[in-house]
Amino acid sequence: MDRNTFGRLCRILCDRVGLIDHKFVTVEEQVAMFLCVLSHHKKSRIVGYNFMRSSQTVSKYIHTVLRGILKLHSLFLVKPHPIEDGCTDRRWKWFKGCIGALDETYINVRVPVADAPRCRNRKGHITTNTLAACDPQLRFIYLLPGWEGSAGDSRILRDAVSRPLGLKVPKGCYYLCDNAYANAEGFVTPYKGVGYHLKEWGPGRQAPQTPEELFNLRHSKARNFIERSFAVLKMRWGILRSASFYPIDIQTRLIIACFLLHNFIRAQMAVDPVEAELAYEAKNEDESAAEHDGADHISSVEPSASWNKKRDDLPRDMWAERQNV
Protein backbone atom coordinates (compact mmCIF):
# COMPACT_ATOMS: atom_id res chain seq x y z
CA MET A 1 0.00 0.00 0.00
CA ASP A 2 1.11 3.59 -0.52
CA ARG A 3 1.85 6.13 2.21
CA ASN A 4 -1.61 7.72 2.17
CA THR A 5 -3.36 4.36 2.48
CA PHE A 6 -1.09 3.38 5.36
CA GLY A 7 -1.88 6.65 7.12
CA ARG A 8 -5.63 6.16 6.70
CA LEU A 9 -5.39 2.64 8.10
CA CYS A 10 -3.56 3.89 11.19
CA ARG A 11 -6.13 6.65 11.66
CA ILE A 12 -9.03 4.19 11.42
CA LEU A 13 -7.41 1.89 13.97
CA CYS A 14 -6.98 4.85 16.32
CA ASP A 15 -10.47 6.26 15.91
CA ARG A 16 -12.55 3.08 15.71
CA VAL A 17 -10.54 0.52 17.68
CA GLY A 18 -8.70 2.64 20.18
CA LEU A 19 -5.06 1.93 19.28
CA ILE A 20 -2.81 4.46 21.00
CA ASP A 21 0.83 5.47 20.99
CA HIS A 22 2.86 3.91 23.77
CA LYS A 23 5.92 5.34 25.40
CA PHE A 24 8.37 3.92 22.90
CA VAL A 25 6.18 2.47 20.11
CA THR A 26 3.82 4.61 18.02
CA VAL A 27 0.67 3.35 16.31
CA GLU A 28 2.41 3.67 12.94
CA GLU A 29 5.23 1.41 14.09
CA GLN A 30 2.80 -1.12 15.53
CA VAL A 31 0.91 -1.33 12.24
CA ALA A 32 4.14 -1.42 10.20
CA MET A 33 5.42 -4.42 12.17
CA PHE A 34 2.13 -6.22 11.64
CA LEU A 35 2.12 -5.52 7.89
CA CYS A 36 5.73 -6.66 7.66
CA VAL A 37 4.73 -10.06 9.06
CA LEU A 38 1.81 -10.40 6.61
CA SER A 39 3.64 -9.13 3.52
CA HIS A 40 7.00 -10.83 3.91
CA HIS A 41 6.13 -13.67 6.31
CA LYS A 42 8.97 -12.84 8.66
CA LYS A 43 9.38 -14.27 12.14
CA SER A 44 9.08 -12.00 15.16
CA ARG A 45 12.82 -12.25 15.74
CA ILE A 46 13.60 -10.94 12.25
CA VAL A 47 10.99 -8.17 12.50
CA GLY A 48 12.39 -7.20 15.89
CA TYR A 49 15.88 -6.97 14.41
CA ASN A 50 14.63 -4.72 11.59
CA PHE A 51 12.71 -2.43 13.95
CA MET A 52 15.25 -2.70 16.81
CA ARG A 53 12.65 -4.16 19.17
CA SER A 54 12.57 -7.32 21.23
CA SER A 55 10.68 -10.37 19.97
CA GLN A 56 8.32 -10.02 22.91
CA THR A 57 7.47 -6.44 21.94
CA VAL A 58 6.88 -7.43 18.31
CA SER A 59 4.65 -10.33 19.30
CA LYS A 60 2.64 -8.13 21.65
CA TYR A 61 1.82 -5.53 19.02
CA ILE A 62 1.19 -8.05 16.25
CA HIS A 63 -1.62 -9.51 18.34
CA THR A 64 -2.86 -6.04 19.32
CA VAL A 65 -3.13 -4.86 15.71
CA LEU A 66 -4.60 -8.21 14.63
CA ARG A 67 -7.44 -7.85 17.14
CA GLY A 68 -8.05 -4.32 15.89
CA ILE A 69 -8.23 -5.39 12.24
CA LEU A 70 -10.71 -8.16 13.04
CA LYS A 71 -12.96 -5.72 14.87
CA LEU A 72 -13.26 -3.76 11.61
CA HIS A 73 -14.62 -6.69 9.57
CA SER A 74 -18.01 -5.05 9.09
CA LEU A 75 -16.29 -1.94 7.71
CA PHE A 76 -13.88 -3.69 5.34
CA LEU A 77 -16.13 -6.41 3.89
CA VAL A 78 -18.21 -4.99 1.02
CA LYS A 79 -21.96 -5.37 0.63
CA PRO A 80 -23.17 -7.40 -2.37
CA HIS A 81 -24.56 -5.37 -5.28
CA PRO A 82 -26.37 -7.30 -8.07
CA ILE A 83 -25.90 -6.67 -11.78
CA GLU A 84 -28.69 -4.32 -12.83
CA ASP A 85 -31.14 -4.78 -15.70
CA GLY A 86 -29.67 -1.82 -17.56
CA CYS A 87 -26.15 -3.23 -17.65
CA THR A 88 -24.60 -2.97 -21.14
CA ASP A 89 -21.26 -4.64 -20.43
CA ARG A 90 -21.05 -7.70 -22.68
CA ARG A 91 -19.41 -9.71 -19.92
CA TRP A 92 -22.21 -9.12 -17.42
CA LYS A 93 -25.40 -8.16 -19.25
CA TRP A 94 -26.58 -11.79 -19.39
CA PHE A 95 -26.19 -12.33 -15.66
CA LYS A 96 -28.83 -10.00 -14.25
CA GLY A 97 -29.04 -10.41 -10.48
CA CYS A 98 -25.53 -11.84 -10.18
CA ILE A 99 -23.76 -10.46 -7.10
CA GLY A 100 -20.35 -12.01 -7.64
CA ALA A 101 -18.44 -15.27 -7.82
CA LEU A 102 -17.86 -17.91 -5.17
CA ASP A 103 -14.99 -20.36 -4.87
CA GLU A 104 -12.55 -21.90 -2.44
CA THR A 105 -8.80 -21.68 -2.20
CA TYR A 106 -6.23 -23.75 -0.34
CA ILE A 107 -3.91 -21.92 2.06
CA ASN A 108 -0.96 -23.73 3.61
CA VAL A 109 -1.06 -24.04 7.39
CA ARG A 110 0.91 -25.77 10.13
CA VAL A 111 -1.12 -28.06 12.41
CA PRO A 112 -0.38 -30.67 15.10
CA VAL A 113 0.67 -34.08 13.79
CA ALA A 114 -2.62 -35.62 14.94
CA ASP A 115 -4.62 -33.18 12.76
CA ALA A 116 -2.46 -33.51 9.65
CA PRO A 117 -4.51 -36.28 7.95
CA ARG A 118 -7.71 -34.19 8.13
CA CYS A 119 -5.95 -31.14 6.70
CA ARG A 120 -4.26 -32.94 3.81
CA ASN A 121 -5.88 -31.93 0.51
CA ARG A 122 -6.10 -33.91 -2.71
CA LYS A 123 -2.63 -32.68 -3.73
CA GLY A 124 -1.08 -33.96 -0.52
CA HIS A 125 -0.47 -30.55 1.08
CA ILE A 126 -1.45 -29.55 4.63
CA THR A 127 -3.92 -26.72 4.07
CA THR A 128 -7.06 -25.01 5.20
CA ASN A 129 -9.90 -24.80 2.69
CA THR A 130 -11.11 -21.20 2.64
CA LEU A 131 -14.47 -20.29 1.10
CA ALA A 132 -14.71 -16.76 -0.32
CA ALA A 133 -17.11 -14.71 -2.41
CA CYS A 134 -16.04 -11.57 -4.23
CA ASP A 135 -17.55 -8.89 -6.45
CA PRO A 136 -16.40 -7.87 -9.96
CA GLN A 137 -14.09 -5.23 -8.44
CA LEU A 138 -12.03 -8.03 -6.82
CA ARG A 139 -13.29 -7.11 -3.33
CA PHE A 140 -14.39 -9.85 -0.99
CA ILE A 141 -17.99 -10.02 0.21
CA TYR A 142 -17.72 -13.05 2.47
CA LEU A 143 -15.08 -15.48 3.68
CA LEU A 144 -15.06 -18.62 5.80
CA PRO A 145 -11.59 -19.94 6.70
CA GLY A 146 -10.74 -22.76 9.07
CA TRP A 147 -12.10 -25.84 7.32
CA GLU A 148 -9.70 -28.75 6.82
CA GLY A 149 -8.07 -29.19 3.43
CA SER A 150 -9.82 -32.54 2.98
CA ALA A 151 -13.31 -31.00 3.33
CA GLY A 152 -15.52 -31.00 0.25
CA ASP A 153 -16.55 -27.72 -1.37
CA SER A 154 -20.30 -28.41 -1.18
CA ARG A 155 -20.05 -29.33 2.49
CA ILE A 156 -18.33 -26.02 3.30
CA LEU A 157 -20.90 -24.03 1.31
CA ARG A 158 -23.79 -25.70 3.17
CA ASP A 159 -22.13 -24.82 6.45
CA ALA A 160 -21.66 -21.19 5.34
CA VAL A 161 -25.32 -20.80 4.35
CA SER A 162 -26.67 -22.47 7.49
CA ARG A 163 -24.72 -20.28 9.94
CA PRO A 164 -26.73 -17.54 11.69
CA LEU A 165 -24.23 -14.91 10.50
CA GLY A 166 -23.08 -16.84 7.46
CA LEU A 167 -23.32 -16.30 3.72
CA LYS A 168 -26.47 -14.35 2.84
CA VAL A 169 -27.83 -14.62 -0.72
CA PRO A 170 -30.89 -12.40 -1.32
CA LYS A 171 -33.83 -14.07 -3.06
CA GLY A 172 -33.59 -13.62 -6.82
CA CYS A 173 -29.81 -13.06 -6.70
CA TYR A 174 -27.05 -15.59 -7.19
CA TYR A 175 -23.32 -16.28 -7.29
CA LEU A 176 -21.42 -17.82 -10.20
CA CYS A 177 -19.78 -21.09 -9.12
CA ASP A 178 -17.85 -23.92 -10.74
CA ASN A 179 -18.92 -27.55 -11.01
CA ALA A 180 -17.67 -28.38 -7.51
CA TYR A 181 -21.06 -27.07 -6.34
CA ALA A 182 -24.63 -28.00 -7.18
CA ASN A 183 -26.76 -25.81 -9.42
CA ALA A 184 -29.14 -24.65 -6.71
CA GLU A 185 -31.09 -21.54 -5.85
CA GLY A 186 -28.61 -18.70 -5.43
CA PHE A 187 -25.73 -20.54 -7.14
CA VAL A 188 -25.39 -20.89 -10.92
CA THR A 189 -22.92 -23.49 -12.20
CA PRO A 190 -21.81 -24.36 -15.76
CA TYR A 191 -23.09 -27.38 -17.67
CA LYS A 192 -21.19 -30.57 -16.96
CA GLY A 193 -19.63 -32.47 -19.84
CA VAL A 194 -19.32 -29.28 -21.90
CA GLY A 195 -16.12 -27.29 -22.54
CA TYR A 196 -15.69 -24.65 -19.86
CA HIS A 197 -12.18 -23.34 -19.19
CA LEU A 198 -11.06 -20.32 -21.19
CA LYS A 199 -8.05 -22.13 -22.64
CA GLU A 200 -10.48 -24.47 -24.41
CA TRP A 201 -11.83 -21.46 -26.35
CA GLY A 202 -8.54 -19.75 -27.10
CA PRO A 203 -7.58 -18.07 -30.43
CA GLY A 204 -7.85 -20.40 -33.37
CA ARG A 205 -10.05 -22.89 -31.55
CA GLN A 206 -13.57 -23.82 -32.50
CA ALA A 207 -16.26 -21.33 -31.55
CA PRO A 208 -19.18 -22.50 -29.37
CA GLN A 209 -21.58 -24.61 -31.42
CA THR A 210 -24.45 -25.03 -28.96
CA PRO A 211 -26.29 -22.82 -26.45
CA GLU A 212 -24.70 -24.79 -23.60
CA GLU A 213 -21.18 -24.20 -24.93
CA LEU A 214 -21.89 -20.49 -25.37
CA PHE A 215 -23.25 -20.28 -21.83
CA ASN A 216 -20.19 -22.06 -20.39
CA LEU A 217 -17.85 -19.72 -22.26
CA ARG A 218 -19.56 -16.58 -20.97
CA HIS A 219 -19.92 -18.06 -17.49
CA SER A 220 -16.17 -18.77 -17.44
CA LYS A 221 -15.29 -15.25 -18.61
CA ALA A 222 -17.50 -13.68 -15.95
CA ARG A 223 -16.40 -15.98 -13.09
CA ASN A 224 -12.71 -15.62 -13.89
CA PHE A 225 -12.39 -12.54 -11.67
CA ILE A 226 -12.42 -14.58 -8.47
CA GLU A 227 -9.35 -16.48 -9.65
CA ARG A 228 -7.73 -13.10 -10.24
CA SER A 229 -8.75 -12.01 -6.72
CA PHE A 230 -7.04 -15.02 -5.16
CA ALA A 231 -3.91 -14.41 -7.26
CA VAL A 232 -3.71 -10.75 -6.18
CA LEU A 233 -4.35 -11.72 -2.55
CA LYS A 234 -1.54 -14.29 -2.42
CA MET A 235 0.91 -12.06 -4.28
CA ARG A 236 0.27 -9.26 -1.79
CA TRP A 237 0.53 -11.32 1.42
CA GLY A 238 3.51 -13.64 1.65
CA ILE A 239 2.11 -15.30 4.79
CA LEU A 240 -0.55 -16.94 2.59
CA ARG A 241 2.03 -18.61 0.36
CA SER A 242 3.62 -20.80 3.04
CA ALA A 243 2.66 -22.21 6.41
CA SER A 244 3.33 -19.94 9.39
CA PHE A 245 4.55 -21.00 12.83
CA TYR A 246 1.60 -19.59 14.77
CA PRO A 247 -1.05 -21.83 16.39
CA ILE A 248 -3.82 -22.77 13.98
CA ASP A 249 -6.36 -20.41 15.56
CA ILE A 250 -3.97 -17.47 15.10
CA GLN A 251 -3.22 -18.61 11.55
CA THR A 252 -6.94 -18.52 10.79
CA ARG A 253 -7.24 -14.98 12.17
CA LEU A 254 -4.25 -13.85 10.12
CA ILE A 255 -5.94 -15.23 6.98
CA ILE A 256 -9.05 -13.19 7.77
CA ALA A 257 -6.91 -10.08 8.32
CA CYS A 258 -5.29 -10.54 4.89
CA PHE A 259 -8.71 -10.63 3.20
CA LEU A 260 -9.92 -7.56 5.10
CA LEU A 261 -6.81 -5.51 4.37
CA HIS A 262 -7.00 -6.53 0.71
CA ASN A 263 -10.47 -4.96 0.56
CA PHE A 264 -9.22 -1.81 2.31
CA ILE A 265 -6.37 -1.38 -0.15
CA ARG A 266 -8.67 -1.94 -3.14
CA ALA A 267 -11.03 0.73 -1.81
CA GLN A 268 -8.32 3.30 -1.09
CA MET A 269 -5.97 2.93 -4.06
CA ALA A 270 -7.22 3.75 -7.55
CA VAL A 271 -4.45 1.62 -9.10
CA ASP A 272 -3.46 -1.61 -7.39
CA PRO A 273 0.24 -2.27 -8.19
CA VAL A 274 -0.05 -5.95 -7.27
CA GLU A 275 -2.84 -6.47 -9.80
CA ALA A 276 -0.78 -4.67 -12.44
CA GLU A 277 1.98 -7.26 -11.97
CA LEU A 278 -0.36 -10.02 -13.03
CA ALA A 279 -0.71 -8.45 -16.50
CA TYR A 280 -4.43 -9.17 -16.68
CA GLU A 281 -6.64 -7.12 -18.95
CA ALA A 282 -9.67 -6.31 -16.83
CA LYS A 283 -12.41 -3.87 -17.66
CA ASN A 284 -13.62 -1.29 -15.18
CA GLU A 285 -16.94 -2.34 -13.79
CA ASP A 286 -19.89 -0.09 -12.97
CA GLU A 287 -20.14 0.18 -9.19
CA SER A 288 -23.70 1.54 -9.09
CA ALA A 289 -26.27 -0.95 -7.82
CA ALA A 290 -29.26 -1.23 -5.56
CA GLU A 291 -28.97 -2.23 -1.92
CA HIS A 292 -30.67 -5.40 -0.69
CA ASP A 293 -30.66 -4.87 3.05
CA GLY A 294 -33.59 -6.52 4.79
CA ALA A 295 -34.45 -8.82 1.89
CA ASP A 296 -35.27 -12.52 2.25
CA HIS A 297 -32.24 -14.76 2.02
CA ILE A 298 -31.62 -18.30 0.84
CA SER A 299 -31.44 -20.73 3.76
CA SER A 300 -30.36 -23.96 2.04
CA VAL A 301 -28.36 -25.26 -0.92
CA GLU A 302 -30.50 -27.84 -2.70
CA PRO A 303 -30.86 -28.44 -6.45
CA SER A 304 -34.33 -27.75 -7.81
CA ALA A 305 -36.13 -28.08 -11.13
CA SER A 306 -37.12 -24.40 -11.11
CA TRP A 307 -33.52 -23.25 -10.70
CA ASN A 308 -32.34 -25.66 -13.43
CA LYS A 309 -34.97 -24.13 -15.70
CA LYS A 310 -33.66 -20.66 -14.84
CA ARG A 311 -30.19 -21.73 -15.91
CA ASP A 312 -31.56 -23.31 -19.11
CA ASP A 313 -33.25 -20.04 -20.04
CA LEU A 314 -29.96 -18.13 -20.00
CA PRO A 315 -28.17 -20.08 -22.79
CA ARG A 316 -31.31 -20.01 -24.97
CA ASP A 317 -31.44 -16.22 -24.70
CA MET A 318 -27.71 -15.96 -25.37
CA TRP A 319 -27.96 -18.22 -28.41
CA ALA A 320 -30.97 -16.40 -29.82
CA GLU A 321 -29.22 -13.02 -29.49
CA ARG A 322 -26.10 -14.42 -31.15
CA GLN A 323 -28.08 -15.81 -34.09
CA ASN A 324 -29.75 -12.43 -34.62
CA VAL A 325 -26.51 -10.47 -34.77
Per-residue model confidence as pLDDT tens digits over 220-279: 888 888 888 999 999 999 999 988 889 999 999 999 999 999 999 999 987 877 877 765
Domain end among 30, 53, 71: 71
Residues of the chain with pLDDT under 70: 195-208, 278-296, 298-300, 322-325
The answer to whether residue 9 sits within a structural domain is yes
The answer to whether residue 240 sits within a structural domain is yes
The answer to whether residue 297 sits within a structural domain is yes
Does residue 316 sit in the same domain as residue 192?
A: yes
The answer to whether residue 91 sits within a structural domain is no
So what's the pLDDT on residue 293?
43
Q: Residue 243 sits in which domain range?
A: 98-280+290-324
Does residue 42 sit in the same domain as residue 173?
A: no
So what's the pLDDT on residue 203?
55
So what's the pLDDT on residue 291?
33
Does residue 51 sit in the same domain as residue 138?
A: no
So what's the pLDDT on residue 292?
38
* Cα 296 to Cα 169: distance, rounded to the nearest angstrom: 8
Q: What is the reported pTM? A: 0.85
So what's the pLDDT on residue 281?
41
* Cα 143 to Cα 77: distance, rounded to the nearest angstrom: 9
Q: Which long-range contacts (CB under 8 A, 24 or more apart) does 187-194 make?
A: 187/102, 187/157, 187/301, 188/95, 188/98, 188/219, 188/310, 188/311, 188/314, 189/311, 190/215, 190/216, 190/219, 190/220, 191/215, 191/216, 191/315
Domain end among 34, 55, 71: 71
So what's the pLDDT on residue 282?
41
Does residue 52 sit in the same domain as residue 179?
A: no
Mark out the alpha helices in 72-210 (DSSP H runs).
73-76, 116-119, 153-162
Closest by CA position to 95, among listed 169, 175, 168, 167? 175
Does residue 177 sit in the same domain as residue 59?
A: no
Does residue 127 sit in the same domain as residue 244?
A: yes
- What is the rounded average pLDDT for all residues in the chain? 84
So what's the pLDDT on residue 273?
78
Q: Which DSSP state fits 243?
A: -
Does residue 156 sit in the same domain as residue 51?
A: no
